[in-house]
Structure formats: C-alpha cells, structure tokens
Structure 1
Amino acid sequence: MKRLDGTVALVTGASSGIGEATAEQLAARGAAVALAARRADRLDAVAARIRSAGGTALVIEADVTDQAQAVSAVEHTVAELGRLDTLVNNAGVMLLGPVVGAPTEEWDRMVRVNLLGLLYCSHAAVPHLIRAASDGSRGVADLVNISSVAGRVPRSGSGVYNATKFGVGAFSESLRQEVTQKHVRVSLVEPGATDTELRGHNRPEVMETIMARFKDVEPLQAEDIADTVLYIVTRPRHMSVNELLVRPTEQAG
C-alpha cells in the first residue's frame, strides 16, 4: 500500500473499536491523525500509542451530534495540523429491537449519531477536502463513511438502525456524484458482525437475540475494517472504491 505521508486524517468515534484501529493504521502509514470522540481519556490512550510509534495524533473531545462541536472538530484539525485530506465518519450506535413497544429515545440517539453527526462532519469537512485534493501531492482526498450490512439488508428487529444506515448509503452516493469531479472520493464501508463495543450498548433481552444469532459466526475484528479503510484511501488517484461490503465468512445474511 502507498504511504500517506504529508496527509491529515480526522477519524470520529476514535476512542474504541473500528475508529481506534483505523486511526492507528492511518498513522502507521504516515498520516497525521486527529482523533474525535466524547471520551477524552480513551482518546489520550490511543494518541499516546500513536506517538510512541513515531506518529502524530491530535485529541479532540467532541460530540458530533452537536453541530457546533462537529464543525469545531473539523476546524481544530485544520488549524492544528494544517489541512484535511481524509475524513472517516465512524461514530455510530446500534440499538436493536422490535419497532413495536420500542423505547423511542433509542431511535433519537441513532438518528442523531448515525445520521446527523455524519452529516454535520461531512458538511464541515467537504470544503477542506476539495482544497486538499487541489493542492496536495496526491491530487485526491477521501471521505469514508462507515455504514453496515444493515444498510443493505433490512431485518426484523433492526428497523430504525436499518433506516439510519440506508440513509448513510443514500447520502454517500449523492455526495459522491456532487464532488467526484473535484477528486474527492466518497466511499461506503459496510461491515457485517464485528467484535466491538457496538453491540454491548443494547438492552439485555436484545443482547440475547444478537448472541444467539451469531453464536456460530467468527466475527470480524476492528482491525479488519481498519484495513479495509486503509485499502480505500491508498488507491491511486484515478481509482475510487465507492462501496465495500465486508462480512465474516460464516455470516449468511
């Protein structure tokens, strides 16, 4: 894979899981990385590992569901690190369960994080990405949205999560058409079952259903999806990976 020296990446949801692994892999390839999430203590630990390996890391405590904080995260990245070549919209939450009788505050949370947070960060970042594509040595910039297999396959018990992830896919394709002539690549990554904290936020009865469904499936690891993101952003300028669905080998649906 090509090096990313001289580039700057912002990763949201970087305090754990896919975001943490992605930030570390981007830094290992030479990118200066801004780490955004709500848990500053966790971000500090990730940043310390990146720096100890010789990389550059900027910690940004931010809740991307607040538009002012999302904009500030982008602007702080550019102010401190000089530019923005890559945005990885990874922050997300998965709260499953039937629609009937659902606690609708879970729906609100998913819409705010999975959709609004991604929209706010993208809106703030796109002008900087366009600029980076026009004045950088690579001649290209990347916006990578982390979605889910749930953005392709509706399933009982996942209705609102499906709705948010289908929305991410629709937004990504529309934005791609808008900025592709400016050499900003918009890519969608759709992981299947992945061993992260994401599923652990569900109610106990929902967790039982999830565990039963995937009991015979060896899940993906966060590093697998980070490696997928790295593949996308290291392609040559003329090549854009629009969408990648990555499932565990044993996952049927």
Structure 2
Amino acid sequence: MSTAGQLAGRVALVTGAGRGIGRGIALRLARDGADIALVDLHPDGIAAVADEITEIGSKATTFVADVSDRDQVFAAVEHAATALGGLDIMVNNAGIALVGPIADVTAAQIEKLWAINVNGVLWGTQAAVAKFLELGNKEQGRISKVINASSIAGHDGFALLGPYSATKFAVRALTQAAAKEHAADGITVNAYCPGVVGTDMWVEIDKRFAELTGAAEGETYDKFVGGIALGRAETPDDVAGFVSYLAGPDADYMTGQAGLIDGGLVYR
C-alpha cells in the first residue's frame, strides 16, 4: 500500500506510541518519510522508539501525556508542531481494554475506560483540527489527516467486552461526525479496526478471560486466532500498513470510514 517517502515533509503525532501497535505505526510512518511526535504516559518507551526513528533517518520528539486530560493533549499537539515545524497527521492510537461481565462493571472502571478510549480520541481530534487550521495546511495545499483507533469490537459487540466494545463503537461515531464537519477544512478523518493482535494488551485480555471462564491461559487467544481466515494472529506491522495508507496521498479521497484490518474475522 505504501511507497517509500510518500510522507516526506509531513509531521505525524502518534499517541500510545511507546509499545505495541502505536510503536509499529510510528516506525512505519517514519519509514514513509514523516517526522514523528511520540506521545505516551511512559517516557522510557517513547525514548526507545525515538532512537529507532532517528536510526531510520526521520526526526522524532517525545512528550509525556495522559490522553484523558484535554489540556495535556493540547499541550502535546503544541509541542509536536513547535518541535517538528508543523503537523499533518494525528493518530489517536492510545487505548485500554476492560474484560468482564456487563453486570459487574463499576462506575470507576467505565469512567476510566471512556476517558481514555473515547475522550482521548475526542481531545486529540479537537487539538489536531485546531492546529491544522492555525497552520493553514489547506491553504498550502496539504490534506490533513486524523486517524483513530477503533476495533473489530467497534463493529461487533463481544461478550465480556461489552463496555470496551461500546467505546470502540463510539470512536466510529466520532470519526463519522468529524469527517462530515471538517471535510471543507481539507481534513479527512478515518479509523482503523484491528482484530487479534499479538501485543501485551491481548496477553492481558487472555489472562482475564481465563480467570472469568476457567479456560487455560492462551486458550482464548488461540480460539480467536483460529477464527481468522488468513490463519495467523495479527502483528503491529499489519495494522501499521493500513494506517500508512490512511496517512498517505492514496487515501486523500477517503473520509468517515472505519476499515477492518483483521485478517478475515469480522465482515462488513
């Protein structure tokens, strides 16, 4: 999907960039030629990814922020634009999971989940759009991109993942609405919907399923992977390839969409 250097001269900000899918996205966009602002709660992770990006030959800057805090997200965007000389691509990747029966969900759990998975996307979209407009990207002939993390759970509600699924459905709604509101501003807004990715998040999901269902550790993960048409678990690079497409010029005429990139697990 990607052509080397297709993002040369562009600046991208990636949240949750210290590990897993976020790290994979950041490295792929850097290989595409973009300079990258890495945002995460954990400084050590993004510092290591910044070193990898420098080795690729792109510029990198880091910023520690909690995406559930609107002021911190706006500060991260301001830092990125100042440190790297602009902003063209916002990847609202940061997120957490919650596994458990709907009947057992507490107010504290849902508030934290919603604050990160939904509010974090909302604040990131607000901050990025404001900066795109301030910089005059459209007037310079530059299409700006907001790219949000949804999930297969944003297309199907999964048992024991009800509130998590609800947050990912909400991301799709925000993506569609923002796409309609900001198309005239030269801004596209799309989402990516991964499936079963072999990351630390899925290790924790599998452990929690084991606690709740009595399954052996690894059994739930293997069950989900067994349903994938392409016959293997997803990697961060698989997701990053699709995000690269959304970030690049070939997707300039695509907006308001939430594409499934799951190897053939959920079909829409």
Matched residue of 1:133: which SS?
A: coil
Structure 1 residue 231 and structure 2 residue 228: aligned?
no
Aligned mates of 2:43, 2:84 — CA distance in 1: 19
Query: Could you give the per-residue CA deviations for residues 50-93 of structure 1, whole angstroms, max 9, x where no partner exists?
Result: 10221111011111111221111011111111211000000001
Q: Whole-Å Cα distance in 1 between the matches of residues 208 and 10 of structure 2?
A: 44
CA contact (8 A) 1:94 1:161 kept: yes
Q: Superposition RMSD on alpha carbons, in Å?
A: 2.0
SS in 1 for 2:146: strand
1:152 equivalent to 2:155? Answer yes
Contact conserved, 2:6 with 2:249, CA < 8 A, in 1?
no
Give the number of aligned pairs: 251
Contact 1:195 1:219 in 2 (8 A): yes
Structure 1 stretches of 5 or more lacking a match? Answer: none
Contact 1:132 1:141 in 2 (8 A): no
TM-score (norm 2): 0.87
Give the match's secondary structure for 1:91: coil
CA distance in 2, matches of 1:199, 1:112: 20
Equivalent position SS for 2:158: coil
1:64-79 equivalences in 2 (<5 Å): 64-79=67-82
Say which SS state the counterpart of residue 35 (structure 1) adopts: strand
**2:224 aligned to 203, 211, 214, which one?**
214
Query: Counterpart of 1:100?
Result: 103
Question: Could you tell me which residue of structure 2 aligns to residue 163 of structure 1?
Answer: 166
Structure 2: gaps spanning 5 or more residues? none
Amino acid at match of 1:32: D
Cα offset for 1:223? 0.5
Query: Given the two structures, how large is their TM-score scaled by the length of structure 1?
Result: 0.92
The Cα of 1:237 is off from its aligned counterpart by 7.2
- 1:140·1:237 contact (CA, 8 Å) conserved in 2? no
The one-character-per-residue Cα deviations of 1:15-70 (angstroms, maximum 9, x if unpaired) are 01111011111111111100000110011100001102211110111111112211
Q: CA offset at residue 199 of structure 1? A: 2.3
What amino acid does structure 1 have at the position aligned with 2:95? G
Q: Is the 8 A contact 2:74 2:123 kept in 1?
A: yes
Equivalent position SS for 1:43 = helix
Contact kept in structure 2, 1:43 and 1:59, CA below 8 Å: yes
Equivalent residue number for residue 244 of structure 1: 259
Aligned partner of 2:21: which letter?
Answer: I
Return the alpha-carbon distance in structure 1 between the equivalents of residues 78 and 117 of structure 2. 21
- Counterparts in 2 of 1:54 and 1:163: CA distance versus 1, 3 Å: same
Shift of 1:162: 1.2
Q: Who is 2:128 aligned against?
A: 125
C-alpha contact 1:85 1:132 (8 A) present in aligned 2: no
Task: Give how far 1:141 is off.
Answer: 0.8
